[in-house]
Amino acid sequence: MITINAKTKDLKALNLALKESVNGTPVTVKNAAQLHGIGAGLKHGEVIIESSVGDYVGVLNAGATIRVKKDAGKYVADNMTAGTVIIEGNADYGTGQYCYGGTVVVHGNAGDFTATMNKGATIMVTGDVGDEAGTYMLKGDLIIVGNAGRNFANYLIRGNVYIGGQWQSIGHNTKIEPLTDEDEAKLRAYFETYQIEADPTIFKKIVAASEKPFYN
């Protein structure tokens, strides 16, 4: 195990150290709360961050596994294309935006605009999410174990949104469909993999009403 103390490092120095270090051996990072963009564009390896982190952790992640032991700032795993980002605390505004692939797991609450413009990732939040979660989602799965705020799944175009709790209001271009056996099996598999305590059978599924809701 390699340990890096980020207290006196800037983003360039830390990310360079990560790129050079992630060759089969997990890297532990301490004191990284002040940095934004940790692990940007990593293609492989495992990074464990023991502190809280700033914004844009795991941005453009292209295959690495990044685990944050405490809370994360805004824009977790922004524009990720592959890999896994796990937040063991809460995540702020805009978790999992613009992702093309990979998995984001927040073992806590996530803020507004979670999974906005998701284009293929699996994004799971074990707690609640704020307003506008799943806005203009184009592909992938968004799974909320708790509750959602206003305008949930607004202008959904494609992909699946699952929720175990309630929403304050649902967005445009959405419809509720019954959970299929495949959906249940998928959710169960996710919950087992990421050790999430939830009963798939109580989840509701939201899909797009139309793939072309803007201009006829």
Contact footprint for another protein (CB under 8 A): 11-12, 15, 36-37, 40-41, 43, 54-56, 59-60, 62, 74-75, 78-79, 81, 93-94, 97-98, 100, 113, 116-117, 119-120, 135-136, 138-139, 157-158, 211-212, 214-216
Q: Please name every residue paired with 65 in a beta bridge, in sequence order, or none if there are none.
A: 46, 84
- Min dist CB 98 to another protein, Å, is 4
Based on CB atoms, which residue is closest to another protein, 40 or 170? 40
Based on CB atoms, which residue is closest to another protein, 75 or 203? 75
Report the distance separating Cα 188 and Cα 17, nearest Å.
37
Based on CB atoms, which residue is closest to another protein, 93 or 203? 93
- Min dist CB 181 to another protein, Å, is 25
Report the distance separating Cα 74 and Cα 207, nearest Å.
26
Based on CB atoms, which residue is closest to another protein, 65 or 191? 65
- Min dist CB 133 to another protein, Å, is 12
How many whole angstroms from its chain centre is CA 15?
21
CB 5 within 8 A of CB 28: no
Q: What is the DSSP letter of 159?
A: S
- Min dist CB 129 to another protein, Å, is 14
Report the distance separating Cα 87 and Cα 67, nearest Å.
6
Among the listed residues 106, 102, 109, the one whose alpha carbon sits nearest the alpha carbon of residue 83? 102
- Min dist CB 84 to another protein, Å, is 16
Q: Please name every residue paired with 162 in a beta bridge, in sequence order, or none if there are none.
A: 143, 205
Based on CB atoms, which residue is closest to another protein, 11 or 196? 11
- Min dist CB 136 to another protein, Å, is 7
In the chain, % helix, strand, coil (3-state, to 5) comes to: 10, 30, 60
Report the distance separating Cα 36 and Cα 152, nearest Å.
28
Based on CB atoms, which residue is closest to another protein, 43 or 70? 43
Q: Which residue has the tokens 């939040």?
A: 125
